């Protein structure tokens, strides 16, 4: 898309306390960005994400959480309440940002960039979990199935240490596959040093 900076590091985002952070803070790190929600059927993934963060954070990796209330109002809390609940209920230690919109005309610019950089994979019609999710989206937010829109909470974008968006993972994608992709990028970075 024209008009968007070409690199993840060109964006700013706001923390729950109002501090504005440049994504350049994460320069040189492999980064996994996730749109989250505190009342979603995928909240169990907070634990998996925290494990990935803890396991690889000293190897040049981070996870960034961006809550959104756009999917069936599953994150009605404000940004500070959301961050607190993530820490208390799920043990989240990775950076959390303010509640943002990830689809529509008020989409946070970072998510416009992420969505324009990589397309979603085709819907896996053989997965019962994904079929149920797609049916829910079709009923509640059919436009989220069009183009590069984010389909639901816990969509993930993997960014390499140079700020390039490498891969997009859908909510039901295996944490094992995500970890393998992270490890590959970390190996590439390790080989450069």
pLDDT digits (tens, 9 = 90+) for 167-185: 999 998 999 999 999 999 9
Please say whether the beta carbons of 44 and 51 come within 8 A: no
CATH assignment of the domain containing 129? 3.40.30.10
The range of the structural domain enclosing residue 60 comes to: 8-188
Which phi and psi (to 5°) does residue 55 adopt? -70, -35
Say how many C-beta atoms besides its own lie within 10 A of residue 182's C-beta: 21
Residue 137 in this model has a pLDDT that exceeds 80: no
| 12 lies in some domain | yes
* pLDDT, tens digit (0-9, with 9 covering 90-100), for 31-88: 999 999 988 878 889 999 999 999 999 999 999 999 999 988 878 888 888 888 878 8
Q: Does the pLDDT of residue 3 top 70, yes or no?
A: no
Q: Which of 23, 37, 40, 182 is catalytic?
A: 40
Whether 86 is catalytic is no
Dist. CA 158–CA 8, nearest whole Å? 11
* Overall domain count for the chain: 1
Q: Nearest 5°: phi and psi at 169?
A: -120, 135
- Give the model's pLDDT for residue 156: 97
Domain-embedded: residue 193: no
| 1 — pLDDT class (breaks 50, 70, 90) | very low
- List the alpha helices (DSSP H) in the chain: 45-56, 79-90, 109-117, 128-140, 175-192
Please say whether the dihedral angle defined by the alpha carbons of residues 124, 180, 11 and 5, taken in this order, is positive or negative: negative
Long-range Cβ contact pairs of 140-147 (< 8 A, separation 24 or more):
140/71, 140/72, 141/70, 141/71, 141/103, 143/103, 144/71, 144/103
Does residue 3 lie in a domain region? Answer: no
pTM of the model: 0.90
In a domain, 2, yes or no: no
* For the ranges 38-47, 111-120, 126-135, 138-147, the one whose mean pLDDT is highest: 111-120
Q: Tell me, yes or no, whether 44 lies in a domain.
A: yes
> Comparing 139 with 110, which gets the higher pLDDT?
110
Q: Which helix (H) or strand (E) holds 33?
A: strand 30-36
Mean pLDDT of 161-165: 95
Determine the Cα–Cα distance for residues 29 and 146; give it in Å rounded to an integer.
31
């Amino acid at each position: 898309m024209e008009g968007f900076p070409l690199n993840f590091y060109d964006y700013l985002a706001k923390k729950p306390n109002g501090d504005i952070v440049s994504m350049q803070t994460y320069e040189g790190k492999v980064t996994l960005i996730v749109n989250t929600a505190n009342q979603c059927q995928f909240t169990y993934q907070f634990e998996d994400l925290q494990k990935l963060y803890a396991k690889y954070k000293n190897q040049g990796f981070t996870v960034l959480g961006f809550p959104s209330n756009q999917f069936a109002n599953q994150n009605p809390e404000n940004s500070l309440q959301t961050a607190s609940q993530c820490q208390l209920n799920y043990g989240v230690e990775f950076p959390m940002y303010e509640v943002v919109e990830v689809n529509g005309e008020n989409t946070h610019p970072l998510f416009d960039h992420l969505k324009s950089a990589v397309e979603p994979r085709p819907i896996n019609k053989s997965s019962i979990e994904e079929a149920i999710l797609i049916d829910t989206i079709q009923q509640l937010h059919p436009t989220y199935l069009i183009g590069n829109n984010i389909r639901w909470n816990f969509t993930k974008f993997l960014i390499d240490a140079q700020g390039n968006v490498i891969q997009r993972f859908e909510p039901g994608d295996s944490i094992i596959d995500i970890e393998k992709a992270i490890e590959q990028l970390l190996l590439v970075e390790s080989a450069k040093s």
